[in-house]
């Protein structure tokens, strides 16, 4: 399922091949976010054309709409969406967290970089909502954001939903914590996550080979929790890493700064089996990709690249944060493509001036064109990273990308 092709000599970075029932993924790789079975604003065929190898959809969103039974009836996610390549489903654990503790704390995976461009805030500043989730040992109760209906996720029900969705790689239900949760809370959540992981494995194994499901060759990934606490992360990596999962994801709170996130990876990854793929959930800024790759992460998913595109921000190497915003007046009559060295559809066909116009006019066609560029940019970045690992010049490449 996963094989290492080349181990970088100076770091934990490695190139590898992740084999799934719907094709292989050359790693390190970026996983495009297709929450509701489509990358926002881009149809699956253009995602393939942009060179994406794998997409990740969300169990929570697809359970609520259109429902896993509908998707199963139509042959599973691949047939349903027309994306025929490797596919993951996240478990919905993070969404449950977002509606619960994350909402109370007003915080995401890394406190200091939430919201995206924000500055560090105090705990009091974060408290801004009321939990919509009731967590018990059995699972998580919550209300549908679509119709207000009562919903319940257990480790077993999530496996069943993901069996019906039929992604190639599926993730267990976990209990996420926020960077503002204390040690005791984080430890309890981690321990529950470990018990849920075992229940998920049991349910997964019990349904193995059941031909009622669309994809008989699914791979189950465990998720390491433990917040930004060293002993908890290490314990979680040992416990989860010791279970017979097909691969591992690193989830939950990654601390209050990029430095803490690096520590979390440094503590976690050396304790995970070397011969299994490692996915870093919800992280995908350029500098974070380098930091993760260097520490042994194989795959990343992140909605930022597509979200910022819809707001006019596109990647361009060498600019501040490797970004420009096409809404800016200086692009109004700029005949050049976003990036003269880019081979994406958008750069091959359209000027900054035209994209600026579409963006200012709020035309939907802009969202697609900007998203395609940003995804292609990440595909090419990952390709460079793979080559630099193979050639043992990752340091040089990372230096080249410092901004």
> Which residues belong to the active site?
90, 301
User: Would you count residue 357 as binding its own copies (CB under 8 A)?
Assistant: yes
Per CB under 8 A, 36 contacts its own copies: yes
Asked if 38 is part of the footprint of its own copies (rule: CB under 8 A), the reply reads: yes
DSSP string, 109-135: SSGGG-STT-----HHHH------EEE
DSSP string, 22-74: TEEEEESEEEEE-TTSSBTTB-HHHHHHTT---EEEEHHHHHHTT-HHHHHHT
* 70 to 109: interface string for its own copies, x by CB under 8 A: x--xxx----xxx---------------------------
Any contact of residue 365 with its own copies (CB under 8 A)? yes
Residue 85 Cβ vs its own copies, minimum distance, rounded to whole Å: 14
User: How do strand 150-153 and strand 87-90 relate by DSSP bridges?
Assistant: unpaired
Task: Based on the shown chain and the rule CB under 8 A, indicate whether residue 65 belongs to the binding site for its own copies.
Answer: yes
Buried b (16+ CB within 10 A) or exposed e, 136-173: eeebbbbeeeeeeeebebbbbbbbebbbbbbbbbbbbb
210 binds its own copies (CB under 8 A): no
Could you say whether residue 307 binds its own copies (CB under 8 A)? Answer: no
**How many beta carbons lie within 10 A of that of residue 46, not counting itself?**
19
328 binds its own copies (CB under 8 A): no
Residue with Cβ nearer its own copies (8 or 350)? 350
Least distance (Å) from its own copies to the CB of residue 48? 11
Nearer to its own copies, 299 or 371 (CB): 371
Least distance CB 370 / its own copies (angstroms): 11
Cβ contact 277:16 at 8 Å: yes
How far is C-alpha 319 from the geometric centre of its chain's CA atoms?
A: 25
Q: Does 42 bind its own copies (CB under 8 A)?
A: yes
Contacts with its own copies, residue ranges (CB under 8 A): 36-45, 65-66, 70, 73-75, 80-82, 332-333, 335, 345, 349-351, 353-354, 356-358, 360-361, 363-365, 367-369
């Amino acid at each position: 399922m996963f094989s290492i092709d080349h181990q970088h000599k100076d770091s934990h970075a490695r190139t590898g091949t992740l084999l799934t029932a719907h094709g292989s993924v050359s790693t390190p790789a970026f996983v495009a976010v297709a929450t509701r079975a489509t990358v926002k604003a881009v149809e699956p065929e253009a995602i393939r054309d942009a060179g994406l190898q794998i997409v990740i959809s969300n169990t929570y969103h697809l359970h609520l709409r259109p429902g896993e039974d509908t998707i199963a009836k139509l042959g599973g996610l691949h047939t349903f969406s027309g994306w025929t390549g490797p596919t993951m489903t996240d478990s919905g654990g993070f969404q449950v967290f977002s509606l619960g503790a994350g909402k109370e704390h007003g915080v995401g995976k890394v406190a200091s970089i939430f919201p995206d461009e924000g500055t560090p805030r105090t705990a009091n500043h974060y408290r801004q909502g009321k939990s919509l989730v009731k967590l018990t040992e059995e699972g998580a109760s919550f209300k549908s954001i679509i119709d207000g209906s009562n919903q319940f996720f257990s480790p077993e029900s999530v496996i069943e939903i993901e069996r019906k969705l039929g992604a190639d790689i599926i993730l267990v239900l976990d209990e996420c914590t926020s960077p503002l949760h204390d040690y005791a809370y984080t430890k309890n959540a981690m321990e529950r996550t470990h018990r849920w992981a075992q229940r998920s494995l049991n349910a997964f194994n019990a349904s193995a080979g059941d031909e009622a499901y669309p994809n008989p060759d699914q791979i189950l990934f465990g998720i390491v929790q433990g917040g930004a606490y060293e002993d908890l992360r290490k314990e979680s990596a040992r416990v989860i890493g010791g279970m017979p999962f097909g691969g591992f994801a690193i989830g939950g709170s990654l601390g209050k700064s990029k430095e803490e996130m690096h520590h979390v990876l440094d503590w976690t990854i050396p304790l995970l089996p070397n011969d299994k793929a490692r996915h870093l959930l919800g992280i995908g800024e350029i500098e974070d990709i380098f930091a993760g790759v260097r520490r042994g992460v194989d795959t990343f998913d992140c909605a930022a690249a597509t979200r910022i595109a819809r707001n006019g921000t596109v990647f361009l190497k060498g600019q501040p944060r490797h970004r420009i915003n096409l809404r800016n007046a200086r692009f109004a009559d700029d005949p050049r493509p976003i990036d003269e060295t880019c081979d994406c559809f958008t750069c091959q066909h359209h000027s900054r001036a035209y994209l600026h116009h579409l963006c200012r006019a709020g035309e939907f066609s802009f969202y697609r064109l900007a998203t395609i560029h940003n995804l292609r940019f990440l595909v090419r970045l990952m390709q460079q990273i793979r080559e630099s690992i193979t050639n043992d010049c990752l340091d040089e490449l990372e230096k080249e990308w410092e901004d």
